[in-house]
Amino acid sequence: MNTDIHRLLDDAFAGVEMTPAAQDLKEEIRANIAAQVDELVAAGASAAEAAQRAIAELGDVRTLLDDEPAEAVRSLGWEALTARNRVRPKPGFVVRTVLLSLLATAALVGILLVVLLVHPAAPLAVAALGAVVAIALGIVTADALLQETTTNHPLPAARAIGFGLATGGTLLALGLGGGFALALDQLWLVSLAAVLLAGSLALFSYLGATQTNRHKAWTRGAITQMPPNRFETDPESAARFGIYTAVIWFLTLAAIVVLVFTVGWWWAPVAFVGGLAAMMLLLARMLFAPRSGDRR
């Protein structure tokens, strides 16, 4: 091991305040210099000479550590920055999304009608309509991820298509599972659903594990300029919100159970809608209400 590198590197960083960033840079340079010295030595230079040359080429390390202040971010608020960087959605994308969402909604209504009105049960019709929903929403997902937005860069095409496939696969698995619920002798439906679901979950996990940043550079400094919301400035109300949430859903679940065993299962969604409404009201009251201390 060439010890000259360490001595010369210490000399180069002499007098530099050892912040974590400076320490980081020093370690990075150390490994790079070591590789460069190996190359120079292989080309015939002596170890000491090679280390000298590699460090000399580096120049003054202090210039590498001067961080220019993000002036634009500090002088402008979040709203001004958003307006300046605004990206309008492409009309074609909006039209495609609306049409595909309408198609998916129509197919969902179709599923409901088939389940309620068609006797004997038609599992294949449910599965086919489920496939329409899955394909439409899968395309909507991939399409949305391929769009540049005000805060995000578009995803690379392969990853966007991956997310679309995983979404479509999950929804199709749900559709096939629904078909199976109508005809319990059609085992192939549930087998196919299980395979699809496992594949989609695997794809989702892969995409999640390999996900990297897609936010635009301007958002990174500007995030500190975002107007703070109540839960950040007042953690106690955030804790209260959590407890209220648990209470609301516990009561909703209890109401669903009571309704199912007294008046019938088709009343269960009523309790669910009630719980959701209570939840939204709570959120509006707690997150966006003026603080009591603001008005004297």
Residues that bind other proteins (CB under 8 A): 1, 24-25, 27-36, 38-39, 57-60, 63-64, 148, 152-156, 159, 211-217, 220
Between 31 and 109, CB nearer to other proteins: 31
Between 72 and 184, CB nearer to other proteins: 72
Cβ 117 to other proteins, closest distance in Å? 46
Cβ 64 to other proteins, closest distance in Å? 5
Between 39 and 79, CB nearer to other proteins: 39
Residue count of the chain: 296
Cβ 89 to other proteins, closest distance in Å? 16
The structure tokens 């009309």 sit at 91
Q: How far apart are CA 183 and CA 194, in angstroms?
A: 16
Between 73 and 134, CB nearer to other proteins: 73
Q: How far apart are CA 86 and CA 76, in angstroms?
A: 14
Cβ 134 to other proteins, closest distance in Å? 25
Whether the CB-CB separation of 55 and 2 falls below 8 Å is answered with: no
Between 29 and 142, CB nearer to other proteins: 29
Between 11 and 148, CB nearer to other proteins: 148
Cβ 155 to other proteins, closest distance in Å? 6
Cβ 87 to other proteins, closest distance in Å? 12
Between 58 and 103, CB nearer to other proteins: 58
Cβ 59 to other proteins, closest distance in Å? 5
